[in-house]
C-alpha cells in the first residue's frame, strides 16, 4: 500500500516558499487557505485553525452556548465531538445512533430536547452525511442552532449540497489521516457574519481584532489561541488543489471493495442511503455476530478477526472502541474539578446510562474500518488485496473461534 498523503513538487514548492517567507505564524498562506477552502466548499466565511477540535469549540461559542446550556451529540463519535461542548461550560446530551448509517438517530433527536437545549451537533461520521433536511426542520421547529462536525466529511453531500453548508456553522479537520491533510489544522466555516465574529474572538485570545488588523491586544472575552501556522496552511493549500481527484479515487476504490466483498457471508458493508454521497473517509465493516454465534462476546471475537486481518497485511483498525457516554470524563462528571460543569447552578441533571445507547454499543463492538488503504495514490488493486484478506479470514473463522 502506498502512503498517505501523496506528496509532489507542488507541496514542496509551496511549503518551501512559506519556510523562506517572513511570517511563519498566521501568514499569507493562512489568509489564502481560508478564501480557497470557503470557495471550494461554498461558504461565505472561513477561519483556519490549529485543529478540527478547535474549530468545533469555535462552533459552540459561535452558537452562543454558555453555562448550563445543553447541546445534543451522537453517542458514538470521536471524543472531541462532545468535549468541545464542555470547553464552553455547556452540557452534552447524548442521542443513540442509527445502526444502519452509524450516524445520529435523527428520529430520536426531539426526545432529547429540553428547555435548556441550545444546539445540535451533527457528526457526518466517516464521511457519510446525515439527513440534513430532517435535522434543519427539527432545529427550526425548536429554535436551535445546528453545528456540523464535518471533520471527516470533506466533499460529502446530501441531496447534492455539500456538508458544512447546511447548518449554522461547521468544523473541518486537516489532520494527517483526513481526506484533506495539512499535517494538522482545521477550518471553521459559516455564512453568518455575527457567528463568524464570535468564532474569531474565541480563536484569537478573546480579542475583537484579528492578526490581519490593527490589534489593540485587549481581551474582551474568554479566548484561546487556535490559529493555524503559515507552513501548515501552505501544505493544506497544495493538497486542496488535488482534493477533488482524491475524493474521486476513494469513491472508485470503495465501490471496488464493495463489489469484491458483496458475496462474503456475515459482513455488513457500508452503503449510501438515498440522497447521500459518501466521501469514503473510512470504509467501515461490521460483523453479523448474531449469525456467527458471538453476540455475547462480540467485541472479543471482533478483535480476533482484526488480528487475523492485520496478519494478512490488511491495514485495518478499530476506530473507536468506546461509546462517548462510558468515557471517564462523562462518567465522573468532573470536567473542571468539583463536578463542573454538571454541578453548575444553571445545569440540570442528565442521564448517561450506557444502556440508553444500545445501537452505539452494538456498532462499537462489531466494527472495523480502514482510513488509508483506499486512498490515492492506491487504486482498485489495493481494494482487491484488502478484499482477499477478508475472504481468507472469513473462510477460516473456526480458527479465530478456537483462539478466543
In a domain, 146, yes or no: yes
Predicted pLDDT of residue 303: 96
> Does 159 share its domain with 57?
yes
Q: How far is CA 156 from the centre of its chain?
A: 12
CA distances (Å), 203 to each of 73, 190, 219, in order?
Answer: 22, 14, 12
Distance CA 339, CA 353 (A): 17
> Does 211 share its domain with 274?
no
207-257 pLDDT per residue, tens: 766 666 677 777 767 788 899 999 999 999 999 999 999 999 999 999 999
Distance CA 64, CA 232 (A): 29
272-297 pLDDT per residue, tens: 999 999 999 999 999 999 999 999 99
Residue with cell 488535488: 242
For residue 350, give the nearest of 45, 61, 95, 119 by alpha carbon: 95
In a domain, 347, yes or no: no
Neighbours of 388 (CB within 10 A): 14
> Does 20 share its domain with 59?
yes
Predicted pLDDT of residue 402: 45
Domain end call among 198, 220, 242:
242
Full domain range(s) for residue 187 = 9-242
> Does 85 share its domain with 191?
yes
Predicted pLDDT of residue 229: 96
> Does 110 share its domain with 191?
yes
> Does 110 share its domain with 54?
yes
- We report the CATH number of the domain holding residue 70 as 3.40.640.10
Q: How many domains does the chain have?
A: 2
Predicted pLDDT of residue 206: 65
Q: DSSP assignment, residue 208?
A: S
> Does 143 share its domain with 205?
yes
> Does 235 share its domain with 269?
no
> Does 280 share its domain with 226?
no
Residues of the chain with pLDDT under 70: 205-206, 208-213, 220, 401-404
Q: How many residues does the chain have?
A: 404
Q: In what order do the strands lie in the sheet with 283-287?
A: 267-268, 283-287, 367-370
> Does 94 share its domain with 230?
yes
What secondary structure does DSSP assign to 267-314, as a single string?
EE-----TTEE---SSEEEEE-HHHHT-STTHHHHHHHHHHHHHHTT-
- pTM (two decimals): 0.95
> Does 88 share its domain with 120?
yes
In a domain, 88, yes or no: yes
Domain end call among 242, 269, 303:
242
Amino acid at each position: 500500500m502506498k502512503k498517505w498523503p501523496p506528496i509532489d513538487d507542488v507541496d514542496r514548492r509551496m511549503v518551501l516558499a512559506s519556510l523562506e517567507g517572513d511570517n511563519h505564524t498566521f501568514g499569507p498562506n493562512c489568509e489564502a487557505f481560508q478564501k480557497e477552502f470557503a470557495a471550494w466548499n461554498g461558504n461565505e466565511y472561513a477561519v483556519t485553525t490549529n485543529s478540527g477540535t478547535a474549530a468545533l469549540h469555535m462552533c459552540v461559542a459561535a452558537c452562543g452556548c454558555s453555562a448550563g446550556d445543553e447541546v445534543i451529540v451522537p453517542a458514538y463519535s470521536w471524543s472531541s465531538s462532545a468535549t468541545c461542548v464542555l470547553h464552553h461550560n455547556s452540557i452534552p446530551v447524548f442521542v443513540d445512533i442509527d445502526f444502519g448509517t452509524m450516524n445520529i438517530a435523527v428520529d430520536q433527536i426531539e426526545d432529547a430536547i429540553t428547555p435548556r437545549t441550545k444546539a445540535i451537533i451533527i457528526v457526518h461520521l466517516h464521511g457519510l452525511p446525515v439527513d440534513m433536511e430532517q435535522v434543519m426542520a427539527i432545529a427550526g421547529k425548536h429554535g436551535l442552532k445546528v453545528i456540523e462536525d464535518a471533520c471527516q466529511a470533506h466533499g460529502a453531500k446530501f441531496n447534492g449540497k455539500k456538508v458544512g453548508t447546511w447548518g449554522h456553522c461547521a468544523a473541518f479537520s486537516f489532520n494527517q489521516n483526513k481526506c484533506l491533510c495539512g499535517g494538522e489544522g482545521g477550518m471553521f466555516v459559516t455564512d453568518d457574519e455575527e457567528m463568524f465574529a464570535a468564532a474569531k474572538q474565541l480563536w484569537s485570545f478573546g480579542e475583537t481584532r484579528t492578526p490581519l488588523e490593527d490589534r489593540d491586544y485587549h481581551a474582551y472575552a474568554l479566548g484561546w489561541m487556535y490559529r493555524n501556522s503559515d507552513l501548515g496552511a501552505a501544505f493544506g493549500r497544495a493538497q486542496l488543489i488535488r482534493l477533488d481527484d482524491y475524493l474521486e479515487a476513494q469513491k472508485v476504490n470503495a465501490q471496488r471493495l464493495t463489489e469484491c466483498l458483496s458475496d462474503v457471508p456475515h459482513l455488513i458493508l457500508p452503503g449510501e442511503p438515498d440522497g447521500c454521497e459518501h466521501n469514503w473517509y473510512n470504509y467501515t465493516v461490521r460483523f453479523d455476530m448474531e449469525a456467527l454465534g458471538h453476540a455475547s462476546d462480540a467485541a472479543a471475537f471482533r478483535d480476533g478477526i482484526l488480528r487475523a486481518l492485520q496478519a494478512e497485511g490488511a491495514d485495518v483498525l478499530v476506530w473507536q472502541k468506546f461509546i462517548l457516554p462510558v468515557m471517564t470524563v462523562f462518567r465522573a462528571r468532573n470536567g473542571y474539578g468539583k463536578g463542573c460543569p454538571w454541578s453548575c447552578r444553571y445545569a440540570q441533571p442528565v442521564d448517561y446510562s450506557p444502556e440508553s445507547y444500545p445501537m452505539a454499543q452494538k456498532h462499537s463492538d462489531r466494527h472495523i474500518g480502514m482510513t488509508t488503504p483506499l486512498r490515492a495514490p492506491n487504486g482498485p488493486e489495493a481494494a482487491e488485496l484488502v478484499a482477499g484478506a477478508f475472504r481468507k479470514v472469513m473462510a477460516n473463522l473456526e480458527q479465530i473461534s478456537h483462539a478466543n
